[in-house]
Amino acid sequence: MTSITVKKGPDGTRIDFGGIVDLKSMFKFENNDVNKPLIGTNLPFKLLSRGKVRDTYIIAPGVLLMVATDRISTFDVVLNQGIPGKGEVLNKISQFWLAEIERAGIIRTHSIPGKLIIEPKEVAMVLDGRSSIVSRKIPIMTECIARGYISGSAWKEYRKNGTVTGIKLPDGIIESGRLQHPIFTPSTKSQTGHDQNITFEQLTAEIGREKTSMLKEITLAVYEHAHNYALPRGIIIADTKLEFGINGSEQLVLIDELLTPDSSRFWPSDTYLPGGPQISYDKQYVRDYVESVGWNKSPDNIPVLPEDVIANTSKKYIQAFETLSGSIFRTL
């Protein structure tokens, strides 16, 4: 491979991988078929992190390239198969919300203005649409969760104790019911294993009351803005997880993915019926299938997903993007 160049210009950020590239060494496709989902990358940059979905590289001082693959995880295990179009959908939804939150003036984000231009075209065909250039921040190792409805682990705790992460809630709330006011329920951000819910006071003990209060205020402001935007368009955002970083001026900045079906519960408003679980715009088809076959959630015996489960999951992700944005999803 020839030398790689990264340049910031008036039209955006240009990454040129050189004239000769080895796609097989850079990208891992399911069954080694370029027409199948992208399940891994090995780009010639320093790898910062490899998450369940995103691979993040340092491409210049203070600048990151985030690549959303088509990987899918359930019960904290990344499956062997990918979901067609998933990475591109998640990236586009996240970019949509980052722009909307900045436009609303709620908080600055890690987005870098301008287009991302990738050369040569054979590399662009893989990375376009699923990649973002962002500024690197010092992450706050806390997941900031806003809940406007009660579901999942919150519902289980409420049924047992009448609380959600130590917050006392009124009696009589039913599963998937809307809360009178959204609540802030942080959790630890674990690099290995499961995240653990913590109380406001526990987070305060770790990072201080002023910063904790700011995280709560901004998290709830972002959630309420997004909820009010999405509801008349047919989507209920039941809850969402946000992540923050700190810039060189010690200011909070919104980082990572934002308000996607992977980091949020999206429910169709036209089928919403409190009192039980809801239909969702996410990987529910996958979760239901692996549980139906009695999978023990071990990475040593991951089930093979049937084609209809993969296809239906892909459709749900695309439907979420099109419903929110009002745009037709087209792969690049």
Q: What is the pLDDT of residue 180?
A: 96
d(CA 150, CA 164): 9
Q: Which residues of the chain have pLDDT under 50?
A: 1
Q: What is the pLDDT of residue 69?
A: 98
Beta strand ranges found along 101-141 (DSSP E): 115-119, 131-135, 138-139
The kind and range of the H/E element at 146 are strand 142-149
Q: At what angle do helices 307-325 and 86-103 cross, to 10 degrees?
A: 20
What are the pLDDT digits (tens) for 239-248?
A: 999 999 999 8
Which of 300, 250, 275, 291 minimizes the C-alpha distance to 137? 250
Q: What is the pLDDT of residue 201?
A: 95
In this prediction the pTM is: 0.93
Residue 75 Ramachandran class (φ > 0 left, ψ -120 to 50 alpha, else beta): left
Residue 144 Ramachandran class (φ > 0 left, ψ -120 to 50 alpha, else beta): beta
Domains in the chain (CATH in brackets) are: 5-136 (3.30.200.20), 139-325 (3.30.470.20)
* Residue 120: cis peptide before it, omega within 30 degrees of 0: yes
73 burial type by CB count under 10 A (0-12 exposed, 13-18 middle, 19+ buried): middle
Reduced to 3 states, what is the DSSP secondary structure of residue 29?
strand
Phi, psi of 143 (to 5 degrees): -95, 120
Whose tokens are 């802030």? That residue is 184
The kind and range of the H/E element at 95 are helix 86-103
Reduced to 3 states, what is the DSSP secondary structure of residue 255?
strand
DSSP 151: -
Query: DSSP states of 158-217 as a string?
Result: HHHHSEETTEE--TT--TTPEEEEEEE--EE--SSS---B--HHHHHHHH-HHHHHHHHH
What are the pLDDT digits (tens) for 128-183?
A: 999 999 999 999 999 999 999 999 889 999 999 999 998 999 999 999 999 999 99
Q: What is the pLDDT of residue 53?
A: 95
Which of 221, 238, 183 minimizes the C-alpha distance to 106? 221
d(CA 37, CA 68): 11
Burial 152-166 (b: 16+ CB within 10 A, else e): eebbebbeeeeebbe
Q: What is the pLDDT of residue 1?
A: 46
d(CA 48, CA 110): 16
Q: What is the pLDDT of residue 193?
A: 54
Q: What is the pLDDT of residue 190?
A: 63
d(CA 312, CA 84): 10
